């Protein structure tokens, strides 16, 4: 299945000069979403993953779908102030400034293997921060599953110590 034919493109969003690649049509298309899940399950064996982690917010549906396929739990990595209970925070740089993400301290057990999911890899700042949060609370990052990778932005350079898989490259 050619996912590029399904992904929508929005010029000048969220600001002038940006071409936004929208994976929403994949989520609305059961055959396309099933294809994405099947492709990632070929690349990351269920025995190598204990927990799926979704990065807010478009990583949530991917992590959830994979968690059902793998029969594993799912946890969320969210923007600051969105998670209850004790959390760990990480400040990081994004394309348009700075951001803070957090993870619940009790979301994974020590040495659990975590597959981190997101819709898109751009500069790698968000993904790197997510990995650092998982490791800070004792998890081991099995790898990253990205639906889309923007290769010109060199996000993989920030993730060289991790296994990264992307299904569509622009």
**Residues annotated catalytic, as ranges:** 58, 95
What whole-number distance in Å separates Cα of residue 147 and Cα of residue 7?
10
Q: Return the C-alpha torsion angle 27, 28, 31, 37, nearest 10.
A: 10
Which residues is 160 bridged to in the sheet? none
Residue 1 DSSP symbol: -
Pairing of strands 97-104, 73-79: antiparallel
Q: Which of 77, 73, 62, 49 is nearest to 147 (CA)?
A: 62
Backbone angles phi, psi at 120, to 5 degrees: -150, 140
Helix (H) or strand (E) holding 103: strand 97-104
């Amino acid at each position: 299945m050619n996912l590029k034919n399904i992904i929508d493109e929005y010029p000048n969003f969220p600001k002038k000069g940006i071409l936004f690649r929208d994976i929403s049509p994949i989520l609305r298309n059961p055959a396309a979403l099933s294809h994405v899940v099947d492709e990632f399950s070929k690349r990351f064996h269920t025995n190598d993953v204990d927990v799926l982690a979704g990065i807010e917010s478009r990583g949530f549906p991917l992590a959830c779908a994979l968690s059902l396929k793998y029969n594993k739990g799912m946890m969320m990595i969210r923007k600051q102030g969105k998670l209850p209970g004790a959390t760990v925070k990480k400040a990081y740089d994004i394309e348009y400034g700075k951001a803070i993400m957090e993870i619940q301290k009790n979301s994974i057990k020590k040495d659990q293997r975590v597959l981190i999911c997101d819709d898109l890899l751009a500069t790698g700042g968000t993904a790197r921060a997510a990995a650092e949060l998982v490791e800070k609370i004792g998890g081991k990052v099995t790898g990253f599953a990205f639906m889309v990778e923007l290769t010109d932005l060199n996000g993989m350079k920030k993730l060289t110590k991790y296994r990264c898989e992307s299904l569509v490259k622009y």
